[in-house]
Amino acid sequence: MTSVEKAASRATASPSLIADLQAQVGERNVVWKPEDLLLYEYDGSIDRASPRVVVLPGSAEEAAECVKVANRHDACIVPRGAGTGLSGGAIPLRDSVVIGLARLSRILEVDTKNRVAIVEPGLVNIELSNHVEQFGLYYAPDPSSQKACTIGGNVAENAGGPHCLALGTTTNHVLGVEVVLADGTLLWLGGPERESSGYDLRGAFIGSEGTFGIVTKVAVRLLKIPEKIHTTLAAFTSLDAASQTVSDIIGAGIVPAALEMMDRITIDACEPVYHPGYPEDAEAVLIVELDGLTEAVDEQSEIVDRICNSNGASEIREADDPAKRADLWATRKGAIGAFGTIAPSYYLVDGVVPRTKLQEVMRQVRAVGDELGLTIGNVFHAGDGNLHPCILFNERNRDEVLKVIQAGERILEICVEHGGALSGEHGIGIEKQAYMPLVFTEDDMDAMKGLREAFLNPDHGDSGGDDASATPVSERFNPGKVFPGGASHGEAYGITEHSVRRAGRHDEV
């Protein structure tokens, strides 16, 4: 049976649900045919599930009305941006209605004096910086997928990027969000002002992975383009030497704008695609970017060069010119796609460790790959210890998928064992929910669930109809995500938590 035939065999949305959504947004903006829904059953993770129907509102008001329609039909709701997420956050579990935000892609306002912009959630990340460059401004959060990912998706996952080391993640650059709550109410949390009083509901909403509601507008902070930007690329003959260089740079009192690392496997993947011409003996490449006042950047770049040389750098490349700096960054920015030269599929783990633990953790990650017979490339935000081991495999081989999930589990355990965290920027979603007890107690998670239910409480107002209460309030938005038991990672391949435990070395997931 072909994938289209499989899709056609699934249950579709009721005609009344389709008609009610079409009444709000028009016929062409409701996707319901099984073969068309295939486009919405996945994101950048390995999990899969088909939605009941997809609706594409053209305004915040239409999005709010679509929520009310879904409530009347007792349907769960999954907000969706560009589908570039890497933890299964956009996977529509529980036969959900997907509310896609691709049509909400405008820059509504740019206040150059106060350095604030108001944008819609479907705006592609890089388009904001491209637009405000004419004013000498830019938007700092820059995920590696910034040419495709959207601002709304970044808000949902609290996305970071190479330059989050010095400047912080999405939450540090969002002043306010307009949201649709579970009953269809539209309201602002925070706003375009730099300061606000009261509880930080804006901060609570950012990183909530679509489980609290839908973002329909975002007020973001813009920064002035630095006077000087200097990029250094250094190649090392060992991963340990590159890791030591990271610690030495931070230890010298320098906090670069970005501090990124790629290992030998990543270099091998990128060489035939981007032809960077790194030294043949390079086991790791480090990118250090400094920005600020010219005098400070010049002084710091000299210190960085000395540290790189003292750790045995085999080659150092430097650039101040924007085009030349872009060349130094091209391989790093495109590294994930280049892994296709090694294997047809990849699974990108997102864990965090203290910088001082980088060398030991990287050794253990390599050992996991060796033990399970898997190739693992590493390209990551070394400055803040945000690791991205990229496990390469063939998703058509179920045994390989099982090994990949085992490897991801073990890598996250290693991160936690060394004082780290489960996620730096990709979120929990489906992928990591079974591992939440590694970090959080039952009381911790109960408190989080209480916060979620406060946002989704149907007693806040009219929940949309008499039948809306049939679905538990905690399952109204993006069901089956974040908390243990919501879904089984790898279920699309017939893999369950039990099969992972049975095949792995550990008694617990």
DSSP state of 96: P
- The ranges of the chain with pLDDT < 50 are 1-9, 11, 460-468, 505-509
Q: What pLDDT score does 197 carry?
A: 83
Q: How far is 74 from 352, CA to CA, in rounded Å?
A: 38
| Residue 495: per-residue pLDDT | 86
Report residue 249 as tokens: 């740079």
Pairing relationship of beta strands 97-100 and 77-80 according to DSSP bridges = parallel
Instruction: Find, among 497, 496, 143, the residue nearest to 350 by Cα.
Output: 143
Strand segments, DSSP code E, in 25-86 are 30-31, 53-55, 77-80
Nearest C-alpha neighbor of 88 from the set 172, 174, 209, 182 = 209
Burial state string for 166-179 with b = 16 or more CB within 10 A and e = fewer than 16? bbebbbebbbbbbb
228-236 and 174-180 strand pairing: unpaired
CA distances from 366 to 225, 237, 372, 414 (A): 39, 16, 10, 12
Given a contact cutoff of 8 angstroms between Cβ atoms, the answer to whether 345 and 339 are in contact is no
Q: Which of 159, 144, 148, 151 is nearest to 176 (CA)?
A: 151
Q: Specify the 3-state DSSP secondary structure of 489.
A: coil
User: What structural domains and CATH numbers belong to the chain?
Assistant: 107-224 (3.30.465.10), 228-337 (3.30.70.2190), 343-436+490-503 (3.30.70.2740)
The predicted pLDDT at position 499 comes to 63
Helix (H, G, I), strand (E, B) or coil at 77: strand
Nearest Cα neighbor of 270 from 233, 240, 298, 242 is 233
Compute the half-sphere exposure of residue 472: CA atoms within 13 Å on the CB side of its CA. 10
Whether 78 contacts 98, CB under 8 Å: yes
Listed in order, strand segments (DSSP E) in 131-197 are: 137-138, 174-180, 186-190
pLDDT at residue 5 in the model: 42
What distance in Å separates the CA atoms of residue 379 and residue 348, rounded to the nearest whole number?
10
Which residue is associated with the tokens 């250090």?
288
Q: Using CA atoms, how far apart are residues 297 and 291, in angstroms rounded to an integer?
A: 6
Rounded CA separation 243/362 (Å): 9
Q: What is d(CA 122, CA 478) in angstroms, rounded to the nearest whole number?
A: 18
**Per-residue model confidence (pLDDT) at position 1:** 43
- The stretches of 375-472 forming alpha helices (DSSP H) are 398-417, 442-456
Residue 498 is predicted with a pLDDT of: 58
Model pLDDT, residue 259: 97
Check residue 252 and give its pLDDT: 97
pTM of the complete model: 0.92
| CA 6 vs CA 50, 230, 304, 402: distances in Å | 11, 52, 56, 23
d(CA 507, CA 131): 52
pLDDT at 193: 87
| DSSP of 281-343 | T-SEEEEEEEEESHHHHHHHHHHHHHHHHHTT-SEEEEE-SHHHHHHHHHHHHTHHHHGGGT-
DSSP type of residue 172? G
CB 254 within 8 A of CB 303: yes
Conformation bin of residue 127: beta by default, left when phi > 0, alpha when psi is -120 to 50 = alpha
CB 181 within 8 A of CB 455: yes
CA dihedral (437, 440, 445, 447) in degrees, to 10, reads 170
Instruction: Using DSSP, state whether 224 is helix, strand or coil.
Output: strand
- Residue 167 per-residue DSSP state: H
